[in-house]
Structure 1
Amino acid sequence: MERIRASRRASWSPSRQTLILASVAGGWFFTFGLRFALPGILPTITASFPDATETQAGIAVTVLWASYGIMQFPAGIAADRIGERRVLVASLVLAALGLFAFSFTPTFSLFVVATGTFGAATGLYGPPRGTLLTRTFPKHADRALGITLALGSIGAAALPAIAAVLVAGLGWRATLGLAIPGFLLASIGVYVAVGAKQTDGGKGANQSAVEQGQDREGPSIASVLVSAGRAITNRQTALAILAAIVMYFGFQGITALLTTYLVTEKGFTQPDAGLLFGLLFLVGALTQWLAGRFADRRRSARVLAAIAFVSVFPLLGLVAFDSRLLVAASTVTIGIRMGFAPVSNAFIIDLLPDDVAGTAWGGVRTALFVVSAFGSTFVGVLAAEDYFDEAILLLALFTAGAAVLYLALPTCCPRTFLADCLDRGS
């Protein structure tokens, strides 16, 4: 990362840093993986409710992701107010309770309510995860976030596949229930690894001011919201956020109906399409890890621009190729797009003021995921009108636009790069 604030430097030992990374990444493995496992066994779930329709099933998935996105902003505020550890632990425990709630869903309407509860609980995890790891690894935030998101992608590849195998014999409620111990163990891991030295007790980023007897009650929520709003509307941050929204929109749009496209437009069988979908996430996991490591040694804005540019070609290949091998290659390399997430997260968080980082980042994530949730609707509407190929080509065009936005960032300009080099040499 180009710039790390001295106030974000943590005093944790390397062993404690490793424990924090392992526990937070483990929690993300279950949080991210289960959000894809649930839609993965949705046909079996809807079949258990005789009156459920495909439209209602689609509403359930929308509720899952919408509730996840909406909770990002309050999660950021809570992280600033009571500390990341408490919010992370609460997210994991509430997610376990959400899975348990599926046992008490005799009607599909109650199933949708339980789905929203689970989505909201997992939505609490993202903002404190990002700010905690950024402060814990001030010099290697890209790498730490890359490892964490990569493990989540592995979960998204593995857990749906495991659920698909188990659901036939155990039923969907018991299958989902098997993940409850994983969430609880992850919550214990986070609680122990981070420890009380973290910003619990409402200390947050205002720790030094409190210790000096200044503003013991902390700033008002209104003033925090104003500061956060200013932080995300300066040119550099706004460009980075807009580019991230475009990238997330494209990812949601292509992955939501990718297996349908492969089956209906390219002639793949459902099992083969599912296999390629899983491989996409494995490629994404590898790319996230590599992108995080590479961004540690290169300028993040240029890494983001490169990932966005490369991500255009798999979408073009998906439409242009007729060869099953080339279509398969295009499908799995869509996962390269996922490499932008850890670098983008660390880049944006580093631009935010310390005292409102959680609040501002939570607001940014709400915008990212609520807007991107419409990506699937965008593709679905065009596909219903027999414009499936055109929808994917438009996503490719949007992705190219994101690459241009990243190139427009001041930190990606040659003049700024030269200035930085001269400054480092002085």
Structure 2
Amino acid sequence: MTERTTEERLVTGYAGRLLVGASVGWLAIQAGRLVLSPMLPQVTADLQISDAQAGVAFSLLWGLYALLQYPSGRLSDALSRKTLLTTGLALVAVGFTALAAAPSYAFFLLGAAVVGLGAGLYPTAARALVSDLYSEKQGRAFGLHTASGDLGGVAAAGLGATVLAVATWRAAFVPVVAVALVVLASLHTWSREEYVFERRALDVRQTLGRLFGTPRFRGLLVAYALYAFTWQATAAFLPTFLNTGKGFGQGVGSAAFAALFAVGAVVKPTAGTLSDYVPRRTLTVSSLLLGAASLAAVVLAQQPLFAVIAVVAFAAGLMSFPPVMQSYLMDSFPADSAGGDLGAMRTVYIGLGALGPTYVGTVATLADYRLAFWGLVAALLVCAGLVAATT
């Protein structure tokens, strides 16, 4: 593992360079994954596939991403962070190239699978690297790193609109691949770690025993799953809820969706910085309560402007959670298994969180969107209670 440096600079110096490099890599991965959504009509028309077939590709990408979280963290502990990060970026570059060049649906699925593998190897190792490099400024470092993913969401929206105006959907992946390769070369040059390629046991039973056998970690795992459930459900259906469920129009839904990522890019570093000075339990519970209250305001909103303002407040509360909680978890896990433990948690809560869109879609079909979103408000309140009781 990378040795923690005495100078914890956030941009310059050894730690700062690696933080920036790992964060830009995560930005590129997120931009490449998220840019598929706004371009989906063009993708399905070009490849002559149905929405259901496109959904299979998304499920394959996200499923492999979730599945690889634990192996990524565990192997980054056993081998080196550098090995996992560069391998992940290489696979991502190959996968996005395959997507851009896909002549058929089968090739498109192959590209999605390779992207899922690369994306799955990267983020847990990157977060473990941040934990290695920072102690006093760990909250700020996590805030900056996690915010890079939200900047990737903002970049995806702009990239999709720009590319479709001047070229075909395939061109959107060219800058993503270029950035991934530049970051790969940078991490290869900057990191003092060695490459380690050898077989290592994953020790799944021991890791799950620590997580599920410890009441505190068990409670936090359930809390994080409820958070992920709410986030993935909201990201999938918030525009549709505002457009169809509340009749506010396409522009309102688009503005609210963009606000989720734009606010996150600002809030995550801010929350991370505050967590270095304010008790993390206080900050985390407060952010979850703000998110729950604001989401309730979204459900009750009768005017588009009020709904968008409520979404901004909701995003501020929701996006404050990850950097603070991940910093807390990395401090709580044993140092020799921190990456693997975080990876195991991510596999579980991302996998359970993927049920969020299914829940909203099902409840909206059987009843309505308001009832579905009230359920998400309840999930955030339970999450806040669990964090308060277990941290």
Q: Structure 2 length normalisation: TM-score?
A: 0.93
Root-mean-square deviation (CA, aligned residues, Å) is 2.1
Aligned residue number for residue 315 of structure 1: 295
Aligned residue number for residue 133 of structure 1: 130
SS in 2 for 1:391: helix
Count of residue pairs the alignment pairs up: 385
Aligned residue number for residue 229 of structure 1: 208
Task: Please give the per-residue CA displacement for 1:311-343, whole angstroms capped at 9, x wherever unaligned.
Answer: 102211121111111111122333220211111
CA drift of 1:60 comes to 2.4
- 1:10 equivalenced with 2:4 (yes/no): yes
Task: Please give the per-residue CA displacement for 1:132-181, whole angstroms capped at 9, x wherever unaligned.
Answer: 10110022222111001112211211222222221242111122223111
SS in 1 for 2:276: helix
> CA separation of 1:175/1:8 partners in 2, compared to 1, >3 Å: closer, same or farther?
closer
CA distance in 1, matches of 2:44, 2:165: 14
Which amino acid letter does the alignment assign opposite residue 20 of structure 2? A
Given candidates 259, 267, 280, the residue that maps to 1:287 is 267
CA distance in 2, matches of 1:285, 1:297: 20
- 1:262 equivalenced with 2:238 (yes/no): no
- 1:344 equivalenced with 2:319 (yes/no): no
Where does the alignment leave 5 or more consecutive residues of structure 2 unmatched? none
Matches within 5 A, 1:60-99: 60-99=57-96
CA distance in 2, matches of 1:59, 1:394: 27
Aligned residue number for residue 38 of structure 2: 40
Which amino acid letter does the alignment assign opposite residue 184 of structure 2? S
CA drift of 1:242 comes to 1.5
CA drift of 1:398 comes to 0.6
Which amino acid letter does the alignment assign opposite residue 49 of structure 1? L
Q: Is the 8 A contact 1:99 1:118 kept in 2?
A: yes
Which amino acid letter does the alignment assign opposite residue 231 of structure 1? R
CA drift of 1:9 comes to 6.6
CA drift of 1:33 comes to 2.3
Which amino acid letter does the alignment assign opposite residue 228 of structure 1? T
CA drift of 1:395 comes to 0.4
Task: Please give the per-residue CA displacement for 1:39-65, whole angstroms capped at 9, x wherever unaligned.
Answer: 221121112133x22222223222221
Q: Is the 8 A contact 2:35 2:156 kept in 1?
A: yes
- 1:153 equivalenced with 2:150 (yes/no): yes
CA distance in 1, matches of 2:41, 2:294: 28
CA drift of 1:350 comes to 1.7
CA distance in 2, matches of 1:286, 1:269: 27
> CA separation of 1:381/1:192 partners in 2, compared to 1, >3 Å: closer, same or farther?
same
> CA separation of 1:189/1:392 partners in 2, compared to 1, >3 Å: closer, same or farther?
same
Aligned residue number for residue 371 of structure 1: 352
Matches within 5 A, 1:413-424: none
CA distance in 2, matches of 1:297, 1:275: 33
Aligned residue number for residue 417 of structure 1: none
CA distance in 2, matches of 1:331, 1:62: 27
> CA separation of 1:200/1:103 partners in 2, compared to 1, >3 Å: closer, same or farther?
closer
Aligned residue number for residue 53 of structure 1: 50
Percent identity among equivalent residues?
Answer: 25
CA distance in 1, matches of 2:139, 2:77: 21
Matches within 5 A, 1:177-196: 177-193=174-190, 195-196=191-192
Matches within 5 A, 1:357-368: 357-368=338-349
CA drift of 1:12 comes to 5.5
CA distance in 2, matches of 1:253, 1:185: 33
Q: Is the 8 A contact 2:2 2:129 kept in 1?
A: no
- 1:390 equivalenced with 2:390 (yes/no): no
Q: Structure 1 length normalisation: TM-score?
A: 0.85
Q: Is the 8 A contact 1:131 1:358 kept in 2?
A: yes
> CA separation of 1:26/1:93 partners in 2, compared to 1, >3 Å: closer, same or farther?
same
CA distance in 1, matches of 2:301, 2:251: 21
CA distance in 1, matches of 2:30, 2:304: 30
> CA separation of 1:199/1:362 partners in 2, compared to 1, >3 Å: closer, same or farther?
farther
Task: Please give the per-residue CA displacement for 1:13-68, whole angstroms capped at 9, x wherever unaligned.
Answer: 44111111111111111122222112221121112133x22222223222221121
Aligned residue number for residue 354 of structure 1: 335
> CA separation of 1:357/1:332 partners in 2, compared to 1, >3 Å: closer, same or farther?
same
Which amino acid letter does the alignment assign opposite residue 22 of structure 1? V
SS in 2 for 1:24: helix
Q: Is the 8 A contact 2:85 2:122 kept in 1?
A: yes
> CA separation of 1:352/1:167 partners in 2, compared to 1, >3 Å: closer, same or farther?
same
CA drift of 1:8 comes to 9.0
SS in 2 for 1:192: helix
CA drift of 1:105 comes to 2.2
Q: Is the 8 A contact 2:297 2:307 kept in 1?
A: yes
Q: Is the 8 A contact 1:304 1:343 kept in 2?
A: yes
Given candidates 247, 254, 260, the residue that maps to 2:227 is 247
> CA separation of 1:103/1:153 partners in 2, compared to 1, >3 Å: closer, same or farther?
closer
> CA separation of 1:91/1:240 partners in 2, compared to 1, >3 Å: closer, same or farther?
same
Which amino acid letter does the alignment assign opposite residue 294 of structure 1? L
